[in-house]
Chain A
Amino acid sequence: MKFTIEHLAKGFEQKEVLKDIDFTFEDGKIYGLLGRNGAGKTTLFNCLNRDIKADRGNFYIEENGQRRKVKADDIGYVLSTPTVPEFLTGREFLKFFIDINESAITDKKSIDEYFDYMSIAPKDRDKLLKDYSHGMKNKMQMLVNVIAKPNILLLDEPLTSLDVVVAEEMKQMLRTLKDDCIIIFSTHILDLALDLCDDIVLLSHGELELVEKVNLDNKDFKDKIIETLREDGNE
């Protein structure tokens, strides 16, 4: 499976944030999306998730040589601040989600199996989500995004505010998920990107650009990334 974005552009009034996004992502990989503050990472995600309308361009999925439009359930989007419906319990949220997405879920498991998978303790499963901690809300958000196995998973700074144990659990989970899906992981932490991601993509000058690692050790690779990003800021 491939996910191709063609000439995507989005501006706000006079400022063109995304100029010409032209890139193909492939499954089995985690892509680290890096960019300076204000480079347009969230705008790109919002366009792909159809929260805002792009000015130009389109994106599609290619499966077995066949192109098709991206449907809403192709995409999972995990935000840095977890948003979960506070008035439901963890169990109720999962039940609701599974009810709604019944047709899209291929290997349905029991709700408790899902909780086990995310290491959410039995005592917490029937609590209202408003009483969940930040990390637990984050896990819930991640969970409903992976249950339906979306083809594309967009992650906007998802690990930044998690404690080390949860962050490690999440990283492990993402590594197991990547086989059948494309994960695009936006972050400001370079070391995290290098540790977790297979490819590094830079968003600079409103365009996406793959950073080739060929023959570079980690330090040189890091320097190269920072140098490229610095040029972007000096414009």
Chain B
Amino acid sequence: MNKTLKISFALKNTYRVNSILYALKQTLLIKMILPSALYGVKGLKIFANILSVIWEVISFFLGKLIYLGCIYFIIADGYNGFFPRRELFLHMLLFLTIIGAFLNTNLFNPSKEKYYAVFLMRMDAKQYVLVNYGYAVLKVIIGFLLIMLMMRSLLDLPVWLCVMLPFSIAGLKLFVAATSLWDYEKRGFSYNENKLGKFLWAFVALMIILAGGLPAVGLAVPQIVSTSLFIAFVPLGLIGVLKVIRFNEYKAVFKDLFAQTQPFEDKKTQALRKQSEKYISADTSITSNRKGFEYLNELFIKRHKNILWSASKNIAYACVVLSVGMIIASYLFPEIKENVNHLILNWLPYFVFIMYIINRGTGFTQALFINCDHSLLTYPFYKQPGMILKLFAVRLREIMKINALPAAVIGTGMSLLLFVTGGTDNVLNYAVIIVSILCMSAFFSVHYLTIYYLMQPYNAASEIKSGTYQLVKVATYLVCYYMIQVRMPTIVFGTLTIVFCILYCIVACVLVYRLAPKTFRLRQ
């Protein structure tokens, strides 16, 4: 048992250390100074080991802190005043604990470590479970115990409850695990926490609604009931412990678990490719009368209509409904007019984030790569500079069209809304709103296609292999998110946006024309 403990921890640690080193190696600047045989360099290894240990210690508490912190903020902010805080906390915790017992089991998670240990290294499955699952349960208890004691006064909990609740949470997890094991004995089918059936999803949704929705309508599980249930979870946990210890078929359970889901990236990308292939329309009536790249592009767009256009159309419909709804509302409740008018004239920066969320750039480039460029980039004719640029122009036009539809609807809707809520002194505002939102959509179209052409982040196995590409994506997100905070008169921000977008598009296109013939290659 001791040996199992040591080996499985060493395995997990090695795996984590190498992941840290790999991540370091992927980062642009650090990549240059690291040696190629970095996995054998002692100093680096020690450094990564320290990080790994720190992470293990943090993982004891961090998740629980965030979890309880979130509950605290919801009850402190959202429903404050309706219920005693303790009652509300126990109400939420009860339903969330039930969800967690099903969704966060550890035992039924098809993780890589499990696969490596039990199947590749042929460790004894039962010993592996007893050690690792035991450790995971211990982590739950210790982590919650500490955090709950820390947050005791915030949550208004007596000490005895703070001590008991961690055991209740772990208890219910163990009991659910035990019932899944019983179920396996009965039906020969392993529960998989990453692959829930329809009923379980419905059940989870119901629990979420009960957790958050009941208090919103003024109801909560009485404290005496929730406390009694939590007390009952403790002996249920003991039953669970007995079952987990007595059960002997773990290897078979895992075999079934891994037959259902693949823990490995290459298998996942295979699945992604399968999925992408499914998006190709089998409609044989689709044809094209064009020639060359226009022919290729038209067939691509037509055969991928579902993934490319349907989301964009749905968003456009939703925006039509929303705009009309707002216009009607402002007639029904004239008192909101002033507020809405003020919002439209000052909140344009917010729309950068909204346009970021609804743009189809990444979906478009992913489909382009997996279903088209992935194969054609292996042919020399496809990589000739003239051809690359011709196709870039054709594609840019398409993605701009796809993104422009919802943008046009949003822009028009906002201008109309501005008009019916009292209008503006400066007529230019109407035009600026429409044009700047269209510009934002054009910006995102150009942006995603440009970074795709300049960094071509995929390798032949369709995995994203460029750290820089990921960084640019995160930076894009952060900038757009930051825009939420910005308040500026629409006319000023709109004009700035238009100027920026036009400049950006020009620069991006020049860069693509200069560099793409060299950068648009399959990553090796």
Residues of A near any B CB (own CB < 8 A): 12-15, 46, 49-52, 72-73, 75-77, 79, 83-88, 92, 95-97, 99-101, 126, 128, 130, 144-145, 148, 150
Contacts and interface: CB of A to CB of B under 8 A. Distances in A.
Nearest to A97: B381
Nearest to B295: A96
Given A92-B295, A100-B292, 17 more contacts: A13-B36, A51-B522, A52-B524, A72-B384, A73-B384, A77-B378, A83-B375, A83-B376, A84-B375, A87-B280, A87-B304, A88-B299, A99-B291, A99-B295, A101-B381, A130-B280, A145-B379
A87 B524 contact: no
Residue from B37, B375, B384 with most neighbouring chain A CB atoms (10 Å): B375
B32 to A, nearest CB: 10
Interface in B287-320: 291-293, 295-296, 299-300, 303-304
Contact of B36 (A15, A73, A75, A130): A15
A85 B304 CA distance: 13
A128 B380 CA distance: 22
B35 interface: yes
B299 A87 contact: yes
B29 interface: no
Interface of B: 35-37, 277, 280, 282, 284, 291-293, 295-296, 299-300, 303-304, 371-372, 374-376, 378-381, 383-384, 387, 460, 521-522, 524
Contact of A76 (B284, B296, B380): B380
B394 to A, nearest CB: 13
A83 B458 CA distance: 15
Contacts, number: 76
13 contacts: A14-B35, A49-B380, A50-B380, A51-B522, A73-B381, A75-B380, A77-B379, A88-B299, A92-B299, A95-B295, A97-B381, A99-B295, A150-B380
Contacts of A46: 524
Contact of A72 (B282, B284, B381): B381
A96 B300 contact: no
Nearest to B300: A87
Considering the complex of A and B, which 9 residue pairs feature the smallest CB-CB distances, nearest first?
A13-B36, A83-B375, A72-B380, A99-B292, A87-B280, A87-B303, A83-B378, A85-B375, A72-B384
Contacts of B299: 87-88, 92
A128 B280 contact: yes
Contact of B371 (A50, A51, A87): A87
A14 B295 CA distance: 45
B277 A86 contact: yes
A144 B292 contact: no
Residue from B284, B374, B375, B379 with most neighbouring chain A CB atoms (10 Å): B379
B381 A100 contact: yes
Contacts of A126: 284
A73 B295 contact: no
A46 B524 CA distance: 9
A145 to B, nearest CB: 8
A128 B282 contact: yes
A83 B377 CA distance: 9
Contacts of A15: 36
A85 B282 CA distance: 14
B372 A85 contact: yes
Nearest to A43: B524
Given A87-B304, A96-B292, A130 B380 contact: no
A86 B277 CA distance: 7
B36 A12 contact: yes
Contacts of A72: 380-381, 383-384
A40 to B, nearest CB: 13
Contacts of A73: 380-381, 384
B372 A87 contact: yes
Nearest to B290: A99
A47 to B, nearest CB: 11
Given A76-B380, A83-B374, A83-B378, A51 B524 contact: yes
A85 B387 CA distance: 16
Nearest to A46: B524
A85 B371 contact: yes
A96 B280 contact: no
A23 B380 CA distance: 22
Nearest to B276: A86
Contacts of A83: 374-376, 378, 460
Given A86-B371, A87-B299, A144 B36 contact: no
B411 to A, nearest CB: 33
Nearest to A95: B295
Contacts of A75: 380
A206 B432 CA distance: 63
A76 B300 CA distance: 24
A12 to B, nearest CB: 7
Given A14-B35, A95-B295, A100-B292, A86 B384 contact: no
A75 B359 CA distance: 39
Nearest to B280: A87
A150 B291 CA distance: 22
B289 to A, nearest CB: 11
A8 B381 CA distance: 23
A99 B295 CA distance: 9
Contacts of B378: 77, 79, 83
B282 to A, nearest CB: 7
B366 to A, nearest CB: 14
Contacts of A79: 378
A51 B456 CA distance: 13
Contact of B280 (A50, A86, A148): A86
Contacts of B37: 14
A144 B379 contact: yes
B40 to A, nearest CB: 13
A97 B381 CA distance: 9
B222 to A, nearest CB: 58
A14 B36 contact: yes
Nearest to A85: B375
